[in-house]
Amino acid sequence: MTTRPELTLAERKRRLVANELSEAALQLLASKGFDAVTVDEIVATAGVSKRTFFRYFASKEDVVVQFLADMGTGIHAELVARPAGERPSVALQHAVWVPVAACAGHSDRALRVVQLILRTPALLARFLERQAQWRDDLAGELARRLDLDPGTDLYPRMAAGMALTAFDAVLHRWSASDGAEDSAALIDDAFAVIAPALDAVVA
């Protein structure tokens, strides 16, 4: 009874420090470029010690990887939360809109971070690795929602892959336009292309 509030406080403090470190790192990396930024610069900006940084992240690349992990968690959580009878195209469009909306809501910083990831080969490779995990997670949830066997039915994996391809295409277009294109309209256009295939399973 006495330790639970302390643990909660400790966890809140830990998350606060991690968020401050992430914010400082992402801003520096986005403004100066991945290779130009050192861990020393990140900790100086965040106002913490190097030891503290390495308590949370193994490297500056891990800061970006965590950003990507959070993005994937948001997509999966949104798909899980969608109404059970909703068409797959609608559920998936809402799910992938979550990180896109977050980017649009913080357009200047998010645009720089997205451009950093897409234009830095090492980070792009990690992004693609993460998307492979997202696809597996989304496929599992689609199989559950539609009562399909993810081991034998092709649909869940293919549908998840199509949704993430749309997401990836939108991010590339939005990034290439320096944020000038309307991300919501891009998502609508992308899903208009793939919706017939996504919804064929419930037609």
Look at residue 165 in the predicted model and tell me its pLDDT: 95
Give tens-digit pLDDT for 153-203.
999 999 999 999 999 999 999 999 998 999 889 999 999 999 999 999 875
Contact 164, 134 (CB under 8 A): yes
The Cα 45–Cα 27 span in angstroms is 10
CATH superfamily of 60-202: Tetracycline Repressor, domain 2 (1.10.357.10)
- What CATH number belongs to 1-57? 1.10.10.60
Query: What's the number of CA atoms in the CB half-sphere (13 Å) around residue 183?
Result: 24
Q: What residues does each domain of the chain span?
A: 1-57, 60-202
* Residue 4 CA to its chain's centroid (Å): 31
Buried/exposed code over 7-20 (b: 16+ C-beta within 10 A; e: otherwise)? eeeeeeeeeebbee
Contact 190, 123 (CB under 8 A): no
**Percent of the chain residues topping a pLDDT of 90:** 43
Instruction: Tell me the whole-structure pTM to 2 decimals.
Output: 0.81
Is residue 5 scored above 70 in pLDDT?
Answer: no
The Cα 29–Cα 22 span in angstroms is 10
* Amino acid (1-letter code) at residue 126: R
Give tens-digit pLDDT for 36-80.
999 999 888 888 889 989 988 888 888 888 887 888 889 999 999
Q: Find tokens 């639970």 and name the residue.
A: 4
